[in-house]
């Protein structure tokens, strides 16, 4: 270890002497992009090999019944790994990263580098109905955070490199570099400026080149646009935007309801058993929900809806288009349940790709309904399949720009830009009205820990209340005599305010120097006057759970320069306005310079 530190120190010294800060950030962004791309490739390959292992000839004849067994096995393996080896919680990649940016100065635990790389492929490979995009972001951003600390980069650069890793993971996963950059800017609220855009570009290119080197030119979603957008279909697209908004709201509500249902069981093993049985039963009935679901999307884009639906245990008339439509709608309906149940049972994965699966099934079903209503309309089923993915991404993820650019890049052109923009805008606006934040950000927003494009709020959110509390105030008691107060508190304090507490250290009020000044030299009052005579209520009280933004408002309303802080009813200390403003200015310089 000493030798390692010695070499690292020499590298850092050489860097400081020979490479400017900006150029070094560019080099690190390329490195982070490569690492994020490598992480994504690892996830894909590990998942592929597990699926390959479960597709051997011996198991093929039992495949339908094993759709019930495989997910249960996978979830149990993940549970064992979590309990015996990792012994730590594995959160959703993007939510965990957003929390690290807002409350931990971009510091992400090192175990996140390998935790998702191991558990997510097992979850998905054995049929868990979740995606790999979230774990790819989790591993990439953890690598970026570790790299920034290794090279002693400041908080601002660390957050930029986390954005680079996010862009890299997205670019590598879908071979869509522009969408990757937009995703990082949109979800992580990075500054859209030259200083941040160049590293994002470099990271995105580095990641996608890494993907090409290891995976070749194969893409997860490959499709060439054949049907042009017709202006006469604009009304259908507008109506479809509302439908994707409705399903987006449904998706979010189902996720939170299932999460709430499962977390009423305190025992994780109970959640695992119940969730495993439910997900196994759903996948047995609807094999199309098995794993990520890229096969379903690609088959729908090719026009092969029978292959997309898969071999269900029920026999149905494949030529009856209305049965096909019902099955596609059922896939849309149950995908949200299957995904949410997988998470609740302890599976590890992401929500990005399940969103695409739901959108593709909904879009294809919507187009089939129009084409078979007998009204003389014929619309492109492939186009609606693509735009369905856009609508669900815009609504569920609250990322309309990412949705537009991802589908545009997948199709290799921008011929669908008008309907993409229309559906994304309607779906996002509709969902936003009912669900203020995405699944990624809902809990963070509730706790006031969500980073946004508002710099002032971001800076205040990143500040820690414990760093602001001052404890050098002399405490006094309500029954203390004036003489004792002057001797034990006033004479030994440089402050002009004194907290009044009881024996249990509960905060009762304050005494100001101005209140006792008229009689403090009257010795006759020393033994007959108590602190309670001068005690008054504080103009405002800061609770330890208050956000810095709320504390700022309390200072503004009260006009005070010092306010007491309590934890429950217990006195903790004071926060001064001058220290708060100084800390705010320092943090602003730290994260925006």
Q: Residue 475's domain is classified under what CATH number?
A: 3.10.580.10
Per-residue model confidence (pLDDT) at position 29: 93
Has residue 334 been placed in a domain? yes
Tokens 């059922």 identify what position?
330
CB count within 10 Å of CB 212 equals 14
Tell me the C-alpha distance between 184 and 169, whole Å: 10
Per residue in 265-302, pLDDT (tens digit) is: 888 889 989 988 898 888 888 888 888 888 888 888 88
**452 and 473 both lie in a single domain:** no
Instruction: Tell me: pLDDT of 332 over 90.
Output: yes
Give the pLDDT confidence of 150-198 residue by residue, as tens digits. 888 888 888 889 989 999 999 998 888 888 888 888 877 665 555 678 8
State the helix-helix crossing angle for 294-301 and 352-371, rounded to 10 degrees: 30
Mean pLDDT of the chain: 84
Specify the pLDDT at position 337.
94
pLDDT given for residue 449 in this prediction: 58
The β-bridge relationship of strands 570-576 and 542-543 is: unpaired
Domain termination residue (choose one: 458, 489, 514) = 458
The domain tally of the chain equals 3
| Residue 251 in domain | yes
Is 141 a member of any domain?
Answer: yes
Domain-located, residue 223: no
Q: What tokens were used for 17?
A: 């002497």
> Is 393 contained in some domain?
yes
pLDDT band at 121 (very low <50, low <70, confident <90, very high): very high
Same domain, 144 and 272: no
Rounded Cα–Cα distance for residues 260 and 254 (Å): 10
In a domain, 85, yes or no: yes
Q: What are 555's two structure tokens? A: 């200072």
Query: Has residue 225 been placed in a domain?
Result: no
Are 269 and 294 in a shared domain? yes
For residues 26 and 196, give the distance between their C-alpha atoms in angstroms, rounded to a whole number: 10
The model's pLDDT over 228-263, given as tens digits with 9 standing for 90+, comes to 778 888 999 999 999 999 999 999 999 999 988 998
- The verdict on 451 and 476 lying in the same domain is no
Higher-pLDDT residue of 88 and 547 is 547
pLDDT confidence of 422, banded at 50, 70, 90? very high
Helices (H), 435-543: 442-446, 455-462, 482-488, 513-516
34 in any annotated domain = yes
* pLDDT confidence of residue 57: 53
The H or E element containing residue 509 is: strand 507-512
Q: Supply φ then ψ for residue 566, to 5 degrees.
A: -125, 150
- 442 and 555 belong to one structural domain: no
Domain span holding position 302:
231-458
Span 359-405, pLDDT tens digits: 999 999 999 999 998 888 889 898 999 999 999 999 998 889 999 99
Which residue matches tokens 């995606």?
131
- Strands 497-501 and 507-512 come out as antiparallel
CATH code (residue 435): 1.10.3080.10
């Amino acid at each position: 270890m000493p030798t390692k530190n010695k070499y690292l120190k020499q590298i850092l010294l050489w860097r400081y002497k020979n490479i400017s800060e900006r150029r070094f950030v560019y080099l690190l962004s390329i490195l982070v992009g490569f690492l994020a791309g490598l992480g994504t490739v690892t996830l894909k390959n590990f998942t592929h090999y597990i699926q390959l292992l479960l597709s051997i000839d011996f198991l093929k004849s039992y495949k339908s019944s094993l759709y019930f067994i495989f997910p249960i096995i996978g979830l149990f393996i993940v549970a064992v790994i979590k309990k015996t080896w990792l012994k730590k919680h594995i959160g959703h990649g993007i939510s965990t990263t957003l929390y690290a940016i807002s409350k931990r100065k971009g510091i992400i635990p090192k175990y996140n580098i390998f935790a998702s790389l191991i558990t997510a492929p097992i979850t998905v490979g054995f049929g868990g109905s979740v995606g790999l995009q979230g774990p790819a972001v989790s591993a990439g951003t953890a690598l970026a955070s570790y790299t920034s600390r290794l090279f002693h980069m400041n908080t601002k650069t660390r957050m930029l490199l986390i954005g680079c890793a996010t862009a890299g993971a997205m670019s590598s996963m879908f071979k869509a570099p522009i969408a990757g950059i937009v995703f990082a800017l949109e979800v992580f609220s990075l500054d859209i400026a030259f200083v941040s855009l160049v590293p994002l570009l470099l990271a995105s290119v580095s990641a996608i080149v890494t993907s090409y080197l290891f995976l070749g030119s194969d893409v997860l979603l490959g499709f060439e646009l054949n049907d042009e957008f017709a202006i006469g279909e604009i009304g259908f697209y507008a109506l479809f935007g509302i439908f994707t908004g409705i399903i987006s709201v449904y998706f979010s509500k189902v996720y939170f309801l299932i999460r709430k249902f499962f977390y009423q069981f305190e025992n994780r093993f109970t959640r695992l058993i119940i969730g495993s049985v439910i997900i196994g039963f759903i996948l047995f009935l609807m094999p199309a929900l098995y794993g990520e679901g890229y096969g379903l999307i690609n088959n729908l884009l090719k026009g092969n809806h029978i292959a997309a639906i898969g071999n269900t245990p029920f026999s149905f008339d494949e030529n009856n288009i209305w049965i096909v439509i019902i099955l596609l709608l059922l896939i849309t309906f149950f995908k949200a349940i299957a995904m949410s149940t997988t998470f609740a049972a302890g599976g590890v994965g992401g929500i990005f790709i399940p969103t695409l699966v739901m959108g593709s099934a909904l879009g294809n079903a919507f187009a089939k309904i129009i084409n078979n209503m007998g009204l003389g309309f014929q619309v492109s089923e492939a186009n609606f399949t693509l735009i369905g993915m856009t609508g669900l991404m815009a609504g569920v993820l609250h990322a309309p720009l990412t949705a537009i650019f991802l589908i545009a890049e997948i199709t290799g052109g921008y011929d669908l830009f008008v309907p993409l923009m229309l559906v994304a805008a309607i779906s996002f606006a509709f969902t936003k009205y009912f669900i203020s934040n995405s699944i990624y950000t809902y809990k963070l927003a509730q706790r006031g820990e969500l980073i946004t494009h508002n710099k002032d709020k971001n800076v205040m959110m990143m500040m820690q209340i414990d760093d602001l509390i001052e404890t050098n105030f002399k405490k006094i008691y309500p029954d203390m005599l004036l003489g004792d107060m002057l001797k034990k508190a006033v004479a030994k304090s440089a402050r002009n305010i004194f907290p009044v507490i009881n024996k249990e250290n509960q905060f009762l009020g304050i005494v100001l120097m101005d209140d006792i000044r008229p009689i403090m030299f009257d010795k006759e009052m020393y033994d007959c006057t108590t602190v309670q005579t001068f005690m008054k209520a504080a103009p405002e009280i800061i609770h330890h759970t208050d956000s810095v933004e709320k504390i700022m408002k309390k200072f503004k309303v009260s006009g005070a320069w010092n306010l007491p802080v309590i934890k429950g009813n217990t006195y903790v200390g004071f926060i001064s306005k001058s220290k708060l403003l100084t800390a705010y200015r320092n943090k602003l310089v730290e994260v925006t310079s």
